[in-house]
């Protein structure tokens, strides 16, 4: 089936972008991974803003309410809850888009629910890094939770790439 005339510029742009990536030896899968990660970043930040920066969830503890957690005291339980929820919202979004787009051409050895559980387990390093970064930089260094969240997400990206390509959607 021949593409319509109005589709020609779009096809040309996609072909040009693909040729540039191949010339520079950059994996299109890696570019898709980064795009999905960018979407996950936006989902994470939006969730953090919704839970921590608004009063929509009135039933959660107030900001600056401290709590004891294992061997340390955290000065803001709402920040901890919001950062955990934000990370999980991003994990769900990332799994959906990686499964449907980034790695759709890869072998699928397990059912979607099992892959999602494996995805959650193997990407545990990134959420731990992100949540820890937010919950250290914000209360200890008085940094904006949204800036510290950005730093934490950046630190977890390499971890996710390795585990996603080797375990969840192997070649």
Q: Model's pTM, two decimal places?
A: 0.77
Write the DSSP assignment of 29-68 as a string of letters. HHHHHHHHHHHHHHHHHHHHHHHHSSSS-TTSPPTT--EE
More confident residue, 92 or 168: 92
pLDDT in tens, 8-67: 556 676 677 667 666 666 688 888 988 999 999 999 999 999 999 998 999 999 999 998
Mean pLDDT for the chain overall: 85
Domain boundaries, the chain: 26-168
CA distance linking residue 40 with residue 156, whole number of Å: 12
**Residues 152 and 134 sit within 8 Å (Cβ to Cβ):** yes
What pLDDT score was predicted for residue 75?
92
What pLDDT score was predicted for residue 61?
93
Stretch 101-114: mean pLDDT: 87
What pLDDT score was predicted for residue 21?
61
Spatial CB neighbours of 134, under 8 Å, sequence gap ≥ 6:
48, 79, 83, 145, 148, 149, 152
What pLDDT score was predicted for residue 17?
65
What pLDDT score was predicted for residue 165?
80
Q: Indicate whether 6 pLDDT > 70.
A: no
Spatial CB neighbours of 75, under 8 Å, sequence gap ≥ 6:
64, 66, 139
What pLDDT score was predicted for residue 142?
94
CA distance linking residue 77 with residue 34, whole number of Å: 31
Q: Indicate whether 5 pLDDT > 90.
A: no
What pLDDT score was predicted for residue 95?
94
What pLDDT score was predicted for residue 35?
94
What pLDDT score was predicted for residue 170?
80
pLDDT in tens, 70-79: 888 889 999 9
């Amino acid at each position: 089936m021949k593409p319509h005339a109005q589709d020609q510029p779009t096809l040309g742009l996609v072909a040009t972008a693909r040729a540039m990536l191949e010339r520079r030896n950059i994996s299109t899968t890696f570019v898709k991974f980064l795009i999905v990660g960018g979407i996950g970043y936006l989902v994470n930040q939006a969730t953090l803003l919704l839970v921590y920066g608004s009063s929509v969830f009135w039933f959660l503890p107030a900001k600056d309410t401290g709590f004891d957690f294992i061997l340390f005291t955290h000065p803001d339980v709402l920040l901890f809850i919001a950062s955990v929820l934000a990370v999980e919202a991003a994990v769900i979004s990332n799994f959906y888009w990686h499964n449907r787009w980034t790695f759709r051409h890869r072998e699928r050895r397990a059912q979607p629910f099992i892959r999602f559980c494996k995805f959650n387990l193997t990407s545990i390093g990134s959420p731990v890094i992100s949540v820890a970064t937010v919950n250290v930089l914000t209360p200890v260094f008085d940094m904006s939770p949204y800036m510290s969240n950005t730093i934490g997400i950046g630190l977890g990206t390499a971890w996710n790439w390795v585990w996603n390509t080797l375990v969840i959607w192997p070649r």
